[in-house]
Amino acid sequence: APNAPNAHGDGTPPSATVPPLPDLPAPHLRDLPFTGGTIDALLREERVFRPLPQVVAGAVVNPQDVTRARARAAADPDGYWEEAAEELEWFRRWDAVHDGSNAPFHRWFTGARCNIVHNALDRHIETGTKNRLALIWEGESGDTRSFTYYQLYREVNRLANALRGLGVGKGDRVIIYMPPLPETVFAMLAAAKIGAVHSTVFGGFSARSLRDRMEDARPAVIVTVDGFYRNGRVIPLKPIADEAVATLPPDLAAGVRHMVVVHRAHMETPMTEGRDIWYHDAVRGQHHEALTEIMDSTDPLFLLYTSGTTGKPKGHVHAHGGYMVGVHRTMRWVFDVKPTDIFWCTAEPGWITGHSYVVYGPLMAGTTTVLYEGHPLYPEPGRVWSMVERLGVTILYTAPTLVRMLMRHGAQHVARHDLTTLRLLATVGEPISPEAWLWFHRHVGRGRCPVLDTWWQTETGMIMLSPLPVSLLKPGSVTRPLPGIEADVVDEHGKPVGPGHGGLLVLQRPWPAMSCGVYNDDESYRRLYWERFPGWYCTGDVARRDEDGYFWIQGRADDVLLIAGHRIGTAEMEAALASHPSVAECAVIGVPDALRGEVAKAFVVLVDDHPPLGTMVNADDLATELVEHVRRELGPVAVIREVTFREGLPRNRSGKIMRRVLRSEELGRDTGDLSTLEDGYV
């Protein structure tokens, strides 16, 4: 990325802004992720938002329910999840709710028989939900397709029969290499319906990334598309899938028996005789009813990779029973789902958020889910707001990166649209700074809509820490663990650090939608998540609790800075920077410093309407101002030695900032696995 001149290009801290500190620790080697101590709490965010009376009055899940659920879950966790499971349909009831005998490979609802697709589709066909809208899809060029539950059911059944006809059966892997299309949803559900294991690979990934995932997953069938629309361009996908298969070892390549290709972009597409088949040919003549495979609760439903933000992506397996209970409960409670809702989660189906809250959650809850094919700013920065208005979206669930992107383009694009249908806003994926939270709350929610900051992971399968619409909110806080979830913040010995200090975020009790393990790699699962504190799940994130017991995510344990003996998470420094009116986006990393062990370096993207540096604004002056701004906000510990202005930051394809890329560039280190890095970043 093009670099504007550095503020202090020679690398020496200007003494005017950075006074030397006493008590110097030994120089710190940051080869190990967060080891030891507590993390300083720097940010003071004191604004609180009480739920509006109309929100409380209209809530299906009201404050008394929440209090009762917490007490119930604390006294009898298995009983709590058992009640949640009873809201769904099973072919056979469980013998045990939870079996931890082979921990950390926990098993949920053992002995039970079920299929998540029965709950997401089949059972609705017997009720009034049958004729409700299940899915509204919008293409980037404005074409739309909508499906009632009955229509979706038919589509899924036809594809399920087609897949069976192609020889796919229980336990076989189906790779879904697709952009957000209705067929992507059909393919996930059809695979699950026949007991196959789907593994969705985001359509933006390269042949190499797809190949690596195939080598791991060994699919029998790949579902893909000729091409799709993104940012006004047509992106061919089938040739990339071909290339990926061609570079597989011959026995694995031969294992890919078929490629089912959706006809979307009307492009000339090479088809391999005998192996490749058009989607429309595969489903033609297929019956619209299909048998739903009866699965064990613990049978795998899907295999999905983490986002690769902190390292090589890890492939996690989730099973039918536990996953369906956890996702259904959180969908209904966090979003307080009502029959009139139009639910838009902007995540791609290929990420965990898409699995849980675009596809399975909304469909199990019988609500209407929205899927959009293209770039959120195409053809203009008001696209998202135009869709909210035209579709009457009531709940918008998105990522802080998109909020920042939209913020950067200014509130005038929001103001042009009637957003009165919105009743709930939510975010996931990264910490949301109080600044961005307030912008979202004020300009999009117009002060009426709660903003729910939800924390969870690919590994957790479901939302873990989050407010509910009736909760008291603090901008930038994920508030508290949901009922049934036990979380704490501890030091490296597992001792709770108490309010006001940061430490490692751990989950102390298993939960139904938890990962069943890393695919084909039990050892990694043990080592990465369970070794540090036996019996507890270590999230890899750092957080603190405040006096009210509210949790504040401070960033990744891998990214913690150690400045003159103070451990500092990246989130608070970045939030402080982001509160400066010139800053659109930023990332902070630690760099070695002779005096303090380590100091911070900030990478800043300026707001769109900022005058170019070097003309009206001197880059050095602005850098100094930012350094002082952060000091004023956070105190003298927050030492930023250098500010670099950039056009953009390295992000992965779900929009998260990859600080490890900045760090390895800075320190001239090997960059590690870059398979999920967004294109265009050099």
Residues forming contacts to Mg ion in the complex (CB under 5 A) are 306
Per-residue binding letters, 488-527, with ligand ATP (x by CB under 6 A): ----------------------------------------
Among Mg ion, ligand ATP, none, the one that 330 touches (CB under a kind-dependent 5 to 8 A) is: none
In the complex, minimum distance from the CB of residue 662 to Mg ion, in angstroms, rounded to a whole number: 18
Of 306 and 644, the one with the shorter C-beta distance to Mg ion is 306
Enumerate residues 6+ apart whose C-beta is below 8 A from 534.
Answer: none
Q: Is 150 exposed, middle or buried (0-12, 13-18, 19+ CB in 10 A)?
A: middle
Q: Helix, strand, or coil here: 526? A: helix
Among ligand ATP, Mg ion, none, the one that 467 touches (CB under a kind-dependent 5 to 8 A) is: none
Of 353 and 394, the one with the shorter C-beta distance to ligand ATP is 353
User: What element of type H or E holds 560?
Assistant: none
Residue 477 to residue 434: CA distance in whole angstroms: 8
Per-residue binding letters, 294-333, with ligand ATP (x by CB under 6 A): ------------xxxxxx-xx-------------------
* Span interacting with ligand ATP, options 35-43, 58-66, 158-166, 537-545, rule CB under 6 A: 537-545
In the complex, minimum distance from the CB of residue 541 to ligand ATP, in angstroms, rounded to a whole number: 5
Tell which one of 99, 226, 341, 453 touches ligand ATP (CB under 6 A): 453
Q: Note whether 414 and 396 are within 8 A (CB).
A: no
Among ligand ATP, Mg ion, none, the one that 556 touches (CB under a kind-dependent 5 to 8 A) is: ligand ATP
Per-residue binding letters, 463-492, with ligand ATP (x by CB under 6 A): ---------------x--------------
Edge-to-edge, what's the strand order for the sheet holding 640-646?
A: 583-593, 597-606, 640-646
- 219 part of the interface to ligand ATP, by CB under 6 A: no
Q: How many residues bind ligand ATP (CB under 6 A)?
A: 26
Edge-to-edge, what's the strand order for the sheet holding 551-556?
A: 487-490, 502-507, 537-545, 551-556
Of 313 and 590, the one with the shorter C-beta distance to ligand ATP is 313
Per-residue binding letters, 623-662, with ligand ATP (x by CB under 6 A): ---------------------------------x------
431-450 binders of ligand ATP (CB under 6 A): 431
Q: Is 133 exposed, middle or buried (0-12, 13-18, 19+ CB in 10 A)?
A: middle
In the complex, minimum distance from the CB of residue 205 to ligand ATP, in angstroms, rounded to a whole number: 14
22-51 binders of ligand ATP (CB under 6 A): none
Per-residue binding letters, 328-367, with ligand ATP (x by CB under 6 A): ------------------------x---------------
In the complex, minimum distance from the CB of residue 213 to ligand ATP, in angstroms, rounded to a whole number: 13
Residue 148 to residue 128: CA distance in whole angstroms: 11
Of 191 and 553, the one with the shorter C-beta distance to ligand ATP is 553
Of 292 and 306, the one with the shorter C-beta distance to ligand ATP is 306
Of 295 and 319, the one with the shorter C-beta distance to ligand ATP is 319
Among ligand ATP, Mg ion, none, the one that 85 touches (CB under a kind-dependent 5 to 8 A) is: none
SS (H, E, C) 624-659: HHHHHHHHHHHCCCCCEEEEEEECCCCEECCCCECH
- 429 part of the interface to ligand ATP, by CB under 6 A: yes
Of 293 and 453, the one with the shorter C-beta distance to ligand ATP is 453
First to last CA, the chain: 6
- 458 part of the interface to ligand ATP, by CB under 6 A: yes
Among Mg ion, ligand ATP, none, the one that 224 touches (CB under a kind-dependent 5 to 8 A) is: none
In the complex, minimum distance from the CB of residue 524 to Mg ion, in angstroms, rounded to a whole number: 13
Tell which one of 457, 471, 570, 644 touches ligand ATP (CB under 6 A): 457
Strand segments, DSSP code E, in 498-560 are 502-507, 517-518, 537-545, 551-556
* Span interacting with ligand ATP, options 87-95, 157-165, 369-377, 428-436, rule CB under 6 A: 428-436
Q: Note whether 444 and 542 are within 8 A (CB).
A: no
Edge-to-edge, what's the strand order for the sheet holding 517-518?
A: 276-278, 258-262, 221-225, 173-178, 197-202, 300-305, 315-319, 517-518
Residue 325 to residue 462: CA distance in whole angstroms: 10
Tell which one of 155, 296, 341, 541 touches ligand ATP (CB under 6 A): 541
- Token pair, residue 245, equals 């298969």
| Partners of residue 422 on adjacent β-strands | none
- 556 part of the interface to ligand ATP, by CB under 6 A: yes
Among ligand ATP, Mg ion, none, the one that 198 touches (CB under a kind-dependent 5 to 8 A) is: none
Q: What does the angle CA 647 – CA 648 – CA 649 come to, to the nearest 5 degrees? A: 145
CA 630 vs. chain centroid, Å, equals 28
Between strands 583-593 and 566-568, the pairing is unpaired
In the complex, minimum distance from the CB of residue 380 to Mg ion, in angstroms, rounded to a whole number: 34
Distances (CA, A) of 249 to 220, 390, 519, 524, 547: 14, 48, 19, 24, 56
Enumerate residues 6+ apart whose C-beta is below 8 A from 620.
Answer: 5, 7, 8
Q: What does the angle CA 317 – CA 323 – CA 324 come to, to the nearest 5 degrees? A: 140
Among Mg ion, ligand ATP, none, the one that 422 touches (CB under a kind-dependent 5 to 8 A) is: none
Enumerate residues 6+ apart whose C-beta is below 8 A from 404.
Answer: 436, 578, 584, 585
Residue 439 to residue 433: CA distance in whole angstroms: 10
In the complex, minimum distance from the CB of residue 347 to ligand ATP, in angstroms, rounded to a whole number: 10
In the complex, minimum distance from the CB of residue 98 to Mg ion, in angstroms, rounded to a whole number: 24
The residue among 224, 348, 420, 310 whose CA lies nearest residue 658 is 310
Of 297 and 306, the one with the shorter C-beta distance to ligand ATP is 306
Distances (CA, A) of 49 to 363, 437, 465, 553: 31, 12, 18, 19
In the complex, minimum distance from the CB of residue 314 to ligand ATP, in angstroms, rounded to a whole number: 6
In the complex, minimum distance from the CB of residue 458 to ligand ATP, in angstroms, rounded to a whole number: 3
In the complex, minimum distance from the CB of residue 654 to ligand ATP, in angstroms, rounded to a whole number: 6
Among Mg ion, ligand ATP, none, the one that 454 touches (CB under a kind-dependent 5 to 8 A) is: ligand ATP
User: What element of type H or E holds 584?
Assistant: strand 583-593
- 80 part of the interface to ligand ATP, by CB under 6 A: no
- Token pair, residue 627, equals 């350094």
Tell which one of 553, 560, 622, 623 touches ligand ATP (CB under 6 A): 553
Q: What is the CA radius of gyration of the chain?
A: 25
Strand segments, DSSP code E, in 79-151 are 96-99, 107-110, 113-114, 133-138, 144-148
- Site residues, ligand ATP (CB under 6 A): 306-311, 313-314, 352, 428-431, 453-458, 478, 539-541, 553, 556, 656
